A and B are shown apart, each in its own frame.
Chain A
Amino acid sequence: MAELLITPSQTIGPFFKEGMELPQGDTLFPESVPGRRIRVAGIVTDGLGQPVSDALLEFWQPDAAGRFGGPRQGSSAGFGRVLTSKDGRYSIRTILPGTVPAADGNLQAPHILVVIFARGLLRQLVTRVYFDGEALNATDPALARCGARAATLVAKRDGADAYAWNISLQGTNETVFFEA
């Protein structure tokens, strides 16, 4: 059996902007897709508490019924990509994800997979954002593995249909990153 060595990761560097912009990258679903419309926004900070102004964030989630990959112009519904602003902020418009089972068949709490690239990150960081107030958070297997740090993955309500979720790459309230 052929077995090839995988290509190593390298940093995205600081100069990717125009090369990586996707049309309507901040809108994960077309208007026609049913579900509770929400906004998720926050700030990315480094170990010095400084905003990370050159990060690229990618999001991947199912629709409200738990299905992945419906149609959308140019790519799949449920995928998003945003660049952080000069003050380290990002914002996406999406719908509250449906629930999908974990590998063991138990239901996971609604969540969005988040992949983070930036200058100074030699490989991507993988994490998830969950939503405050969801009953399934209490039994979600991935959150359970995070112990006291699970709170770093739960977006807080910020108005009726908005959530705030900050990403701390290092140091105070360092966000949980996963290895899978």
Chain B
Amino acid sequence: MKLRKIPHGVHPNLLYPSYKSTNERAPRLPAVALEPAAAELSGPHFERTLLYPNHDDMTRQTGGMPLGERIIVTGRVLDENGDPLPDTLIELWQCNASGRYHHEMDQHDAPLDPNFRGFGRVMTDANGRYRFTTVKPGAYPWRNHPNAWRPAHIHYSVFGKTMLERLITQMYFPGDPLLGYDPIFNSVPTDRARERMIAHFDLETTQPEFALGYHFDVVLRGPEATPENR
């Protein structure tokens, strides 16, 4: 198997000076080209035993209901050829509706919600589909630059079939006025690629009297098409 080359204009450059942490963490020497071998072209499988109670519903992981706007997010994990990836692990984490993470290093002066931890884990079904319920995360300030605020986002960690497909990204919400000011979002070089990270409002997933629905597909690197398998 051979994976397609990553197209230009999709992933951020490692050094993106307006996101300050890149200045001392991005490697300065060029990456060395590697001919992928067995380790790169394989990867771990995950079992449903990793799915803890209410793994797919962040609103039901404690005794009570968290504050905030309840949402349902659905979508598919696909490769760039459009083929769905079944039984793929997605790990999720986010801040609460007030913009505070359940994390010891988050010192933002916004309330923690005793009913919200903000961690989820789902696996795609046979058609590559996933679904989870949560509350919409809030915006929060960070110290990257004066008056810096992160747009609302949910962190996604996704495994494909091989370690080279591995992806960690963030899902953003449509119409968020903070997107234009966010160096992490704008580290992605093209409009088309940035739009890939924005969920769509989805009336079909929206449940009356219960929760708004959003749709978000994740697309991973895929194998080069060959005459035999196309």
List chain A positions with a Cβ less than 8 A from chain B. 1-20, 22-23, 46-48, 50, 52, 54, 58, 60-62, 66, 68-69, 73-76, 78-79, 100-104, 108, 111-113, 115, 117-126, 128, 141-142, 145-146, 149, 169-171, 174-180
Query: Across the two chains, which residue of chain B brings its CB closest to A141?
Result: B35
Nearest neighbor of B216 in chain A, beta-carbon distance: A7
* Whole-angstrom distance between the Cβ of A58 and the nearest chain B Cβ: 8
Known A170-B24, A179-B31; judge A8-B163 contact (CB<8 A). no
A47→B103 CA distance, assembly (Å): 26
Q: Say yes or no: B119 contacts A19, CB within 8 Å.
A: yes
Known: A19-B91, A69-B42. 10 other contacts (CB 8 A): A9-B11, A10-B12, A18-B103, A52-B25, A62-B39, A69-B45, A74-B50, A75-B47, A119-B25, A170-B25
Closest Cβ–Cβ distance, residue B174 to chain A (whole Å): 16
Most B CB contacts (10 A, CB to CB) among A7, A15, A141 go to A7
Complex contacts, B106 vs chain A, CB 8 Å = 15
**Cβ contacts under 8 Å, B155 to chain A:** 10, 12-13, 16, 19
Q: Is the CB of A100 within 8 A of B93?
A: no
- Is B80 engaged at the interface, CB distance under 8 Å to the other chain? yes
Cβ A75 vs Cβ B81 within 8 A: no
**Given A7-B218, A100-B39, A122-B184: A178 touches B32 (CB 8 Å cut-off):** yes
Is there an interface contact between B95 and A120, defined as CB atoms closer than 8 Å? no
- Chain B residues near A7 (CB-CB < 8 A): 167, 169, 196-197, 217-220
Query: Interface 1/0s, chain B 142-160, versus A by CB < 8 A?
Result: 0000000000000101000
Chain B residues engaging chain A, CB cutoff 8 angstroms: 6-7, 10-14, 16, 19, 21-29, 31-40, 42-47, 49-50, 78-82, 91-93, 95, 101-106, 117-120, 155, 157, 163-164, 166-170, 184-185, 187-188, 192-194, 196-197, 217-221, 225, 230
- Known interface pairs A46-B24, A120-B19, A174-B28; A8-B50 also in contact (CB < 8 Å): no
**In the complex, which residues of chain B have a beta carbon less than 8 angstroms from the beta carbon of A169?**
25-27
**Across chains A and B, which 4 residue pairs bring their CB atoms closest together, nearest first?**
A120-B21, A19-B93, A2-B82, A120-B25
Is B25 touching A47 in the complex (CB atoms < 8 A)?
Answer: yes
Contacts of B34 in A (CB 8 A): 126, 142, 145, 178-180
A1 to B93, CA, bound (A): 34
- Nearest residue (CB) in B for A61 is B39
On whether the beta carbons of B157 and A20 are closer than 8 Å, the reply is yes
Once the chains are docked, how many angstroms separate the CA of A12 from the CA of B157? 8
Q: Tell me, in angstroms, the Cα distance from A11 to B19 when the chains sit together.
A: 10
Which residues of chain B have C-beta atoms less than 8 A from A47's C-beta?
Answer: 23-25, 28
Given A5-B219, A6-B219: A102 touches B50 (CB 8 Å cut-off): no
Across-interface contacts of B43 in A (CB, < 8 A): 60, 76, 79
Q: Which residues in A have their C-beta under 8 angstroms from that of B169?
A: 7-10
Given A1-B225, A119-B21: A60 in contact with B82 (beta carbons within 8 A): no
Q: How far is the CB of A53 from chain B (nearest CB, A)?
A: 9
8 cross-chain CB contacts under 8 A: A9-B167, A75-B45, A75-B50, A102-B35, A103-B36, A103-B37, A120-B24, A174-B29
- Chain B contacts of A12 at CB under 8 A? 155, 157, 168
Among A13, A19, A66, A68, the residue within 8 A (CB) of B118 is A19
Question: In the complex, what's the smallest C-beta–C-beta distance from B29 to chain A, in angstroms?
Answer: 5
**Cβ A15 vs Cβ B103 within 8 A:** yes
Q: Is A122 in contact with B13, judged by CB distance below 8 angstroms?
A: yes
B166–A171 CB distance below 8 A = no
User: What chain A residues lie within 8 Å of B221 (beta carbons)?
Assistant: 6
> Inside 8 A of B14's CB, which chain A residues have their CB?
121-123, 125
